[in-house]
Structure 1
Amino acid sequence: MSASEQAFSPLAIGPLTLRNRFIKAATNEGMAKGGIVSKGLAQFHENIAAGGSGMTTVAYCATSLDGRTFVDQAVLNTDSLADFRALTDGVHKHGAAACAQVTHAGSFTFLDKNTLKTKRPLSSSGGFNKVGVMSGRYLKKAMTEDEMEAIATEFVEASKLAREAGFDAVELHMGHGYLLSQFISPLLNKRRDAFGGSIEKRVEFPAQVLRRVLDAVGNDLAVIVKYSMTDGPKGNTIEDGVQVARRLQAEGAHMAVLSNGLNVESISALFGSSLPKTGAKPSNPIIRLGMFIQSLTEPPEVQFRENYLRELSLRVRKAVDMPLAYLGGVQSREGVEQAIGDGFDAIAMARSLVFDANFVNKLRSGATERSGCTACNQCVTMMYTPGGTSCVLTANGLEPELNTQRASA
């Protein structure tokens, strides 16, 4: 079987079998205004399913109200079940699987003092919270073991609700600077107990969360982990990233999605290229902060190249036998064949599918060999516009009104 044929063959991930190896990677859709699981969000993922992907991942399903980064993010709770069910029904109608990315922001939150219930946002370590400068949350709190137990329970309960909502998989987010990666990264974890110090200790709490979620739903759902192989120029190295993968494998994760970098500290390590230089000041605080730090710490213009995380991902591939999804700039049949030929089990894509939800079908039929996506990253700046994430080149955004209507209405 050729690499191209293999890409379109079924893939077993734990108890789940996908119709092919293409996965829509989680990218904050910006379509949950006021926390509503909206018709726009449901339509976005149904379009991905109709376009041929084997699975689509709903980004940032918070474990609790305090687990959000913004108020415009959905929470996996009883109030959202009917709307999430409408979303998963739409995905299943086209033969694809639906995955809920389960996340807690920790100190990476822009919720104001009147919204966040805790006096200080929780994190692996206390002290100054640079992200909190944007929301008046200048200090963060080091989690106690009781608080860690409570958050682990939140992940378990959210995963159970994902199962009830019809999701086929959950993706535990251990990357990009959110709570679980705040334990894994030495830039953020300064603990001196059993959960800080060496990489083995720093990954202990996230591994415990994974183990509990596997015990709770692993017989019914694929339990996937997305993590950052490195933090970027500073912090975790690829050697650390390999150790994380080995621990995930030892705990029994059904698959790992290999991402990179941190949302603020290392933008180009995450996207493989710089955020766009815009004349207007972006309204979203993450983008403003990321662009400011990028201007201070990164080269002025990092140029995109296809499969830009290949070298790092190959280090992980050689170290573990568990299923791995390659993520990082696949834009063509050639890029797909390279990743499959390198031994990766699945291809996770974001920007190419934001550009054209039908990209997978077009690859399969031979109607196209390469995405028209230019990796300009303008879609990143579109996340918090009324219409949500869309491509400025194809002007394919959904009607903004759809993002204010409940999916089940």
Structure 2
Amino acid sequence: MSSLLFSPLAVGKLGLANRIVVAPMCQYMASDGVPSDWHLVHLGQFAQSGPGLILVEATGVEAEGRITPACTGLYSDASEAAFARIIEFCRSVGESKIGIQLSHSGRKGSTRKPWEDGGQIVLADGGWETSAPSGDPYLEGWEPPAALDQDGLERIKAAFVDATRRAARAGFNLIEVHAAHGYLLHQFLSPISNRREDAYGGSLENRMRFPLEVFEAVRQAFPTDRPVILRLSATDWIDGGWDLMQSIEFAKALKTAGCDMVHVSSGGLDQQQQIVAGPGYQVRFADEIKRQADIATLAVGQITEPIQAETILRSGQADAVALARGMLWDPRWVWHAAKELDAEIQLPAPYARCNPAMRGKPFITRS
């Protein structure tokens, strides 16, 4: 029986060679939003390995939308050109499609790199004023964010549209709107962080309003033959917070708005979360959303073994699987999975001779 993991998948009108996705992973190695040679090597190594889709890390749609000063952004000509160079290289070595995760950090922005303690950079030390649905800070002792007024909402929506147009010009095949992990759009969704009393707060319909407006604006601005997907946190892991049933309703609304797939993660909104982690611990959320919202899902979260990934797909729990830390640890995970699942793969010509399956056989290469 042939491997489902290595079978083609259509996401909207975009064809993927297989169902392996490199999840977005923040590198904190950019300068004023511009990706560096680090990103070229980081993303290029995955392109050489041949996953179906590579997703670029959370990329701020405006400077204040970055998580740290070292995060990527897509709000300048320099950044657009740097991403175009990276995409060109990735396409020169393989068939992977390249997507970008567009994001706004909201109240979780203006922080130091994780290995520099990750704390907030206050205004006096060169940080920036953050913004959020409401004025509650992410952590006790942090400077409070500015509660967004209508002008602020329109500014951020326009920034998403501008970044979308830049992504299209740079050559990205796909956009993923980031509405997970406690960043701005997730902050609007969750009743824990959204305490507004206007049309953008209170009821589920109201809390979904701004994330849906952003998604629809991105979808309208991106070429119709290229898909737009969305990453959400299926649950806050906090009683009374955002949960799976609300995520299902959100996914239904997203499908109506033209969303081609939901990338299902969880958590990240509040330190009170009680996450029950383990191998594939978020797959059940992807399964429920796929079945109840009738939308394609991308599963992520401690998916590390090829047989595990194959089982998720064969059981119908998701349409594709994404790996993050597993890919950092083993950038050749795709090759090793193909060997374990007895799937035929094509390696870049200079590397073809390392494929154990080709010993004693003519090379199968890609130029």
Kindly provide the amino acid, as one letter, of the partner of residue 84 in structure 1.
F
1:195–1:34 Cα change, 3 Å: closer
1:236 aligns with 2:266: no
Query: Residues 249 and 293 of structure 2 are in contact (CA less than 8 Å); yes or no, is this contact kept in structure 1?
Result: no
Q: CA deviation at 1:78?
A: 1.2
1:317 corresponds to: 290
The verdict on how the C-alpha distance between 1:64 and 1:198 changes in structure 2, with shifts beyond 3 A counting, is same
In the superposition, relative to structure 1, how do residues 368 and 238 fare at CA in structure 2: closer, same or farther (>3 Å)? same
* Residue 95 to residue 144, structure 1, CA distance change in 2 (3 Å): same
SS at match of 2:145: strand
Match of residue 215 from structure 1: 220
- 3-state SS of the aligned residue for 1:170? strand
2:141 partner SS? helix
Over 3 Å counting, the alpha-carbon distance change for 1:342 and 1:186 in structure 2 is: farther
Distance 2:11 2:53 in 1: 11
CA–CA separation in structure 1 for the residues paired with 2:326 and 2:272: 22
Q: Indicate the residue corresponding to 1:107 in structure 2.
A: 107
Does the Cα contact within 8 Å between 1:81 and 1:161 map onto a contact in 2? yes
* d(CA) in 1 for partners of 2:308, 2:271: 28
Q: Which structure is richer in relative contact order (CA contacts within 8 A, separation 6 or more)?
A: 1
The answer on 1:64 being equivalent to 2:48 is no
Post-superposition offset of 1:96: 0.8
Structure 1 match to 2:267: 261
From the superposition, tell whether residues 199 and 130 of structure 1 become closer, same or farther in structure 2 (CA, over 3 Å). same
Structure 2 residue matching 1:133: 3-state secondary structure? coil
Deviation of residue 85 (structure 1)?
A: 1.0
Pairs aligned (count): 328
SS state at 1:139 partner: coil
SS at match of 1:107: helix
What TM-score, normalized by structure 2, do the two folds share? 0.84
Q: Deviations over 1:40-91 (max 9, x none)?
A: 1111111111112111111121101111121001210212122111111122
Q: Are residues 1:358 and 2:317 paired?
A: no
Cα distance in 2, alignment partners of residues 266 and 54 from structure 1: 36
* Superposition RMSD in Å: 2.1
Tell me, yes or no, if the aligned pair for 2:306 and 2:340 is still in contact at 8 Å.
no
After superposition, the C-alpha distances for 1:184-203 in whole angstroms (9 at most, x for unaligned) are: 01110011121111222111
Q: Distance in 1 between matches of 2:222 and 2:52?
A: 21
Identity of aligned residues (%): 28
Q: Aligned AA for 1:347?
A: V
For residues 10-409 of structure 1, what are the structure 2 equivalents within 5 Å? Answer: 10-33=8-31, 35-76=33-74, 77-93=76-92, 94-110=94-110, 111-113=121-123, 115=126, 120-126=129-135, 128-131=136-139, 133-134=141-142, 138-234=143-239, 235-262=241-268, 264-265=270-271, 269=275, 273=277, 305-343=278-316, 344-366=318-340
* Alpha-carbon distance, 1:122 to partner: 1.4
Aligned partner of 1:387 in structure 2 is none
Structure 2, unpaired ranges of 5+: 111-120, 344-367
